Structure formats: structure tokens, C-alpha cells
Structure 1
């Protein structure tokens, strides 16, 4: 269930659609818009070529928060229809005072209804949601207007309108308000992505569900103050800050398998990306890529990409000859170590330095013409899946992504799963990475199963730690000792359930937070402890 306490959704109905289109097109008439677009418009739909289109507008998105996963699954079935051409999800910030005024009116109306109909569960649920939205805005959250339009395509016949009406009825069954737009309204709705910041035009079932849980829930459940993680014991929302006046803030996540570590990493990635933050993720196991396959772009790094980057890292002094030798040994290329080092030092293509059967083996691996090359393939909004690479190359891939993210010198979030890998290969450079990232605006979140896997310097350079519990006494003992926790903190760790964490920020006592993973779990159908 999506938690509405940290979101506000002021739904844009047909009038908002018209206003948005006017703001872009300078008040031009629908006829002029149609002429400019090469479209023909009648009362029921718009025509382009031999196909006609209309739009079903979802007017009341509070149902998304009431129905949660049911809404997503039902909508996925609806848009799998051949008649559905795509979905437009659009949103932008709105004036705070007008949003509060609208909410006050709605809350007052619902209270009146509840007085007449005491015990009306639907009204009670909606009232609770609106009251929590109102509270969120009063505490500083930015209200957002959102519009969802389902684009229906088909033959230019009355049956197209009937199909759109059927879809509207299906949406209505979920507790939402939906209407079939007129041809003129539909034309303006199709122009929404031009007038709304952060809007997306999407065409597949997976993308639609992703947008509902990602673009709507996640964008609205995080603010400039931090990323929403979940709730404290007292029910107050917990926000994880990424920046302070002195620069970016780093964190370490510690937790054994099956307690929710990967889920937490996925939450951070999705909500940060939805906030417009540059997100870089390194995934050595493939689990994070599975979680985020509908939210972020997944890139499987190739041996060639990492091999070339390895030569560049050696040339830059980040890794030593031992690391290069271990990587070549895993590829059964022990005999070319000297050639590889020369290729790195002199930036020569490898094929010039080997011959005979060695060259043929390199060709089979696609490595014959590699040279030392600064990686240019690293970009934000991507999960770099290195699970298919040899073990030594996984670590090298993690280092490359990390250093490339740092070189962008822009605000971002770097997620490193199994962070022990980079510390093992280049500990001195990792400490430099953490220190330089603070001034560069790059917040680093490192995740590991064992607290002793990371050097103490990483903890010293981190603003906080997020700890998952366990029944394993050895694990508890190591965590308490490494982080200097009290025996009472150790007892709390033993008592934590799946999806619960102790968060210790600098200068404060650890506090219990229950992770809210509603949109991730709703998308994937996973358990909280995955």
C-alpha cells in the first residue's frame, strides 16, 4: 500500500488539461492546434491518417493510494488491450496556498458526509488520506499536480468511443473517477508532455505501472530535505538527508542476506532518481537489477568494457600489477600479463603486442584490439550489472563506475553493493573517493553483509549507518564492536524484524525505522526481506 502521508496529489482534471495546453500554445484555438498537428477533430475523437484516438482521463488519483497494488495490476490488464496506444503521465508543482485551500474544502465536505453517514469506511479512508496530505504540505512538502491519460486507438467508428467508456468503467471500479474526453480535450491532453515538467509518454504495461509507483509515489514522497525511508516508532516519517552545508553525506548499510538490504538500496535508487538526482548503481549479484528493471535502465557490462577500463585504471595508478594479473588469470590469459601492462603504459592496441595462438584467443574474447581507454559509457539513471563477469572484473567494474560518477562533479547518489570489493582492490583510492565525493556533491551508499568487510576509514567518512538485525550472535557482536554500539543497541538489533532497521546518524542515538517499500513490493510482488 502506498503511504500517502508524504505525498500530495492535486489531480488535474479536464480544465487543468486545457490550461496546460494554453500555457504552451499561447491560447491558440483547437482548430489551429489541429491544423498545426495535421489532425482532424470531432466531438468524440481525433483522427490522424486512417486511425482515430481518444483519451480516458483519470481524474481522482487518491484511489492509487487506496487501492495500491490492486490499482497497478488492474491498470496493467487494461492497457494490455490492443486498443490502448499508450499512457501519458504528467506532473508539475502547484501553488502551496491554493493546494491547501482545495484540500481544506475537500476535507470539510468529507466530514459533512461522514456526519450524515457515520461508519462509511470509504469516506473515512479518503478523509484520512486527505488529512495526512494536508499535514504533509503544512510541514513543508511541495504539492504536485498530476494527470494520467490512457490513449485509446482504433477504427474511426462509434466502437472506439465505447471501448474508451469500457476502460473508464474499469478504472471507476477501482474507486477512481475517470471520464472519456471529447475530441478537443483529447487533443490538448496529447500535448501535455510539452507543458508539464517531468512528464513521460509511455507505451507498455510495465512502464505504466512503473510510472504510477515511481513518477507519482516516489517523486512525491521525497523532498529536498532527504529521501523518505519509512516511519519511526512514533509514526513520524524518517527522511535520510543526502547533503548538508558542508557537502554530500555518505552512508553504510550493514545486514545479512534476507533482511531487506537490497530492497532498501532499490528504494534509495528509485526515489532519488524520481527527485532528479543522478543515480549510479553497481550490482555484482544481479539482485538489484531485478528489483529496478522497471524503474532504471539496466546495463550489463561486457568483458571488453571492463578490460579496457582495467588498463586505464592501471595507467592512472588506481590498481597495481597484482590486480591485473588476477583478472587475466580468471580469463586464462596469464601469459599476456607483460603485453597487457605494456598496452596500458603505452596505450597501444593489445593485438600489436601478442601473436600466434594468443592473438586467436584474444579474438575469441573480443579483446584483440583493446587499449587503455578512459570509460565513456558511465551515465546516471543506470544500474550496472556486473554479475556475469569473472570475480576479479566485477571489482574493477565497481571501481570504474565509482570514479566515473565522481568525475561528473554534480549532485548524485552512488550505490555500491558488496562494497568490500572496491576496498579490497584499491583501499587508498576508495578513501580518496569518499573524501572528494563530499565536496563534489556525490553521496555514496555502500552496502555489505559483514561490518568487518569495510575499512574503518569508510565508517569514519560516513555520516550514518543503517543496520539490519539478525539472530546470529557473531554478527551482532561484530556490529556492536566495530561501530561502538551499546549493549542496549545490540539487544535492539536482535529484536528487529524483516524490513526494520536501526539508523544511527552522526551525533545521535540509533533509532528504529520501519522501511516503507510499498512501491517496490507492489511492482515486483516481493517479500520485504528480499
Structure 2
């Protein structure tokens, strides 16, 4: 019986060995040094040098959108090429952009064009004014005429090669895997170009082809200083085109994308300010959703009125406070202090009820629930109690992606719940290892300022959470709602526009920007448009929020 050649383990072994020998030979030319061995991982090739250290290579393949018909106007091509250059300049690994010309079977291409032109003529009989179809027909006719006249045709295939070196193989692998995935995603979002990270076997064959034929066009990007001069890119644009950032939208009036690096800036906290209806809640949900999709950091959303819940992706666990929600005795004590701040000092009344709560726990055993707290306080905390799974408030702080929804609560109930939740996060901080790397983002829409107790815990969180890797993303309607000492702890300010002059003046004051005309820019911002002040940068950016792209 004949065994198919490709099915033979021996043939496969010989093929792999030959393939690796070729890779070592080509790798030595690519990495400019002697290679001891080569290892093929899922989407990387790692070369071990004879003189110590490792070099890793990854490659991103781009589709032909950059060279398609709609990209042939010089203005559009230059704009997209500039954005691509800026994205590449922010990558920490060494980067090469290689553009290979793909040969085309002219006869086969002619037949395809003829078939598509026939189909278009049929469509145009019923849709003779459809400009998109007409433009497509004109483009195909131009290409067909060039082929018939004997003009050489080819297709351009761009590749981005990433290269990293280090004495540690693990560091090389970790850095390249992350960089390649983040850069591919950023290019897809900002340019509309489909990308994919090549598998190691494909990458090996591509390296082989590079040295077996005439090299394709090669553009090497050098050091940071050289890149800044070549691209003439202001610091604030470099900052907002970092592939590690999450896409927020485009600079107003342009198609230049704005990517915000939450992981880098998150521990310095984010404050979103804007009147009702301008887009604050949409922005909070957009940031939370994109962090979830990218799996970068854990996110907890505290949603006082249930507005944000409907914009969050299904991957977020939902929790609604109900009568069965468990509160331990220390948190019940906090609830008394919150309500005392709301209703004024009624020391004897609060003391007697508080003693009754503690007496119930001591005598009957078991934790306090929200319903029992409500009954003991004599204050309405719950509007209704729809079916809800039982949970403990202190258990939800460990959920990776969660939304805590307080729409079942009265205003009094929200005051209590938010203060309790913020105190729980403070307790959780001290049970974790200190770090400056962002691990979790806590998002609270407006009601964090609802009571003296909540403000007390806000002050503590903005000062203490940074050292434990927890960032805060808070929203508010006006600057006057936020105490000065709290505002100074927010590194990023995102402000929506308003025609109110006192509101505009307060925004200008907290961002410390004195350029003339900034007030008119803020007043002219429409719904879904915002101004962003990044940490340590004096320049302001104005963007159109785009919640659609993930």
C-alpha cells in the first residue's frame, strides 16, 4: 500500500528539519549575526544567537485597502500613510514596513473584470444613478483598458515586520506577542484595513521568499529622535496614536484617530464632565466595553440609575441590589452614618436603631440583609424587589467585569449603597499587593458625589488607590460638584461642551489652559464631542466620540 507523501511522519520530520535549516540560514541574514538554533512558536520565530541573547520576529499582513481604487487620490493616500507611520512610530519593537509586489495572471484577471462589468451593467439598468456602482464601473474600465494596452499590472501586498531582542527569551516572546496583536488591532480600527498576525510557518516562508528573490521595498524605522523629525509629529499626536491605547473616536473635523492609553494613565484617574445629554454615559460605556474586548484590565461599573447597563456588552456580569443583598454589620453602621448626614443629627434615634441592628445579629446570628437594614432604619431604601440572585456586596469586588446596578433603590438607598461599595473597595485595596500597574478600573456615573460619606471615600480612593493598581473613572455634571482637593488628583480631564459661560470658565480653570479662543471651541462642541486634557501635556485635543467600533 502506498502511503501519501505528506502523511509520512518521516517526511514531515525531514521537511521541518530542512525548513528550520533554511530559517537559520535566512535568519542569519535577517538578524545580521550567527544563529545557534531557531524555535517556531504560534505566531513568532525566535532565533538564539551564538554570542548570547535572543531575537524574535513577528509579522502583520495587511490587505490591499491602502492601494485600492478609493485610496488613489494623493490626499487620501497621504493622510492614511501618515497615520500608519505614526502608529508604527509608537511601537517599542524595531519595525520594518515591506511592500511586496504580487504577480497577477493577466488573462485570468481580464476574464474576472469582464464578468464583473457584465454584472454591473445589469444592476445599472435598474439603478442608473447609483454613484457607487458608476464609480466601480469607471474604475474597472480603466483597469481593463490598461491590461488590453499591454501595460504591466501587479498588486501591492504590505507587511509589517516586528523585531525584538533581549537576553531573556520569555521577555522577547511576551513583548512581541503583545505588540503584534495591539498594532494589528489599532491599524484595523484606525485605517479600516484588515490585518492578521502571520503564523510562524507563513512567516518562515515569507523570510525565505525575501532572500530568494529581489527584495521588496523596505522602509526601516529608526530611533525615536529620527522618527520625530521624519514625521514632524507633535507630542500630543504621538500620545494619542499609541497602539496600546483604546480607540475613543476621531479628532474633530478629521479622520485622525484618537487612542487613549488607559493602562498607562488610568491610575492617575479620569474625570468626565458634561451636562445631561451630551454623551457622558456613552463615553463611560465605550471605555468599559473596549477594555473588556481587549482584556487589558478588570472593570467594575457602578450604575446608579441603570442607564449604563444597556450599553455594556454581554460579557459583563450584572448585579442588582435587592432585599436579599447581604451587608455585614460594619457596613450597616456605615449606612447609619450616611443617613445621619442626610437627615441631620438624631443621635438618640440613630443610636437606638443601631443597637437594635447589632442586637439582632448577636441574638439571631447570620449577616444583615438590605431588607432588614431598611426595616431597622425606618427609611425606604428599595423601590421594588424584582427577582434577583442573592449575592454579598463584598464578593463582587473580585469579579473581572461587572456592573452593579442601583436602579431598584431610592435616592436614600443609592447614598447608602455607593458609600458601602466605595468602602468595600478601600478594604479590598489593602488585601492586595501594592503596584503602579493598572489592574482594575472603577467606573461610577455621577452619584459618587451623592453624600458626605461617598465624598469621604472618594477622597480616600483618589489618594490611596493609585498605589494598588486601581484607577477611577468618575463622571459629573459640573466642576462645582467636585471639591478642589479631589479635582487635583485626576490626571485626565474629559469635558463635553456647553453654551453656559460659567461652566466653560470652570473647565478652562481646572485644565489650566489660557489660549485665546478655547472658550468658543468648548461652546461649539455638539453632542458626542469632547475636549481631552492628558496628564503632563499642555495641549488639548477635541474629538468626536465613536461608540460603534470595538
Is contact 1:263-1:517 (8 Å) kept?
yes
| Aligned-partner Cα distance in 2 for 1:308–1:359 | 8
Q: In structure 2, what is the equivalent of residue 226 of structure 1? A: 245
For the Cα contact (< 8 Å) 2:342–2:451, is it kept in 1? no
Partner in structure 2 of residue 9 of structure 1: none
- Stretches of structure 1 that go unaligned for 5 or more consecutive residues are 1-26, 28-91, 144-196, 199-211, 367-372, 521-530
| Deviation for aligned residue 1:349 | 6.4
CA contact (8 A) 1:243 1:441 kept: no
Q: Partner of 2:395 in structure 1?
A: 376
Written as runs of structure 1 = structure 2, the 5 A alignment for 1:62-461 is 97-100=58-61, 103=63, 106=64, 114=69, 138-139=88-89, 225-233=244-252, 235-244=255-264, 248-276=267-295, 277-292=297-312, 294-305=314-325, 308=327, 311-313=329-331, 319=334, 321-325=336-340, 338-341=352-355, 343=357, 348=362, 375-378=394-397, 379-405=399-425, 407=428, 409=432, 411-421=439-449, 424-461=452-489
2:526 is paired with a residue whose SS is coil
Alignment match of 2:521 (pick from 486, 492, 499): 492
Deviations 1:199-231 (A, max 9, x none): xxxxxxxxxxxxx99xx99xx999773322122
In 2, are the aligned partners of 1:434 and 1:444 still within 8 Å (CA)? yes
Distance 1:350 1:338, change over 3 A: farther
* Contact 2:250/2:546 (<8 A) preserved: yes
- Could you tell me how far apart the structure 2 residues matched to 1:400 and 1:223 are? 37
3-state SS, counterpart of residue 518 of structure 2: helix
User: What is the deviation of 1:107?
Assistant: 6.0
Q: Tell me which residue corresponds to 2:534.
A: 505
1:123-166 Cα offsets, whole Å, 9 max, x none, are: 99x999997996586345799xxxxxxxxxxxxxxxxxxxxxxx
Task: Note the C-alpha offset of 1:275.
Answer: 2.2
Provide, for residues 451-488 of structure 1, a one-character-per-residue CA deviation record: whole Å limited to 9, x for no partner.
11111122111102100001233432443455555463
Shift of the alpha carbon at 1:272?
1.2
Question: Is residue 532 of structure 2 the alignment partner of residue 514 of structure 1?
Answer: no
* Aligned pairs, number: 331
CA 1:280–1:352 in structure 2 vs 1: closer, same or farther (change >3 Å)?
closer
Contact 1:422 1:430 in 2 (8 A): no
What secondary structure does 1:441 align onto?
A: strand
> What is the RMSD computed on CA atoms of the aligned residues?
5.0
| Structure ID, larger Rg | 2
Q: Flag the 1:283–1:345 CA change in 2: closer, same or farther, 3 A.
A: farther
CA contact (8 A) 2:444 2:473 kept: yes
Which residue of the partner structure matches residue 151 of structure 1?
Answer: none
Structure-1-length-normalised TM-score: 0.51
- Partner-residue secondary structure (3-state), 2:503: helix
Pair 1:139–1:444, CA change in 2 (3 A) = same
**Contact (CA 8 Å) 2:335, 2:420: kept in 1 or not?**
no
Comparing 397-406 and 458-467, the one that deviates more: 397-406
* CA distance 1:304–1:422, change in 2 (3 Å): farther
The TM-score with structure 2 as length reference comes to 0.49
Q: Between the two structures, name the one with larger relative contact order (CA 8 Å, sep ≥ 6).
A: 1
Residues 430/137 of structure 1: CA separation in 2 closer, same or farther (3 Å cut): closer
Distance between the aligned counterparts of 1:223 and 1:262, measured in 2? 25
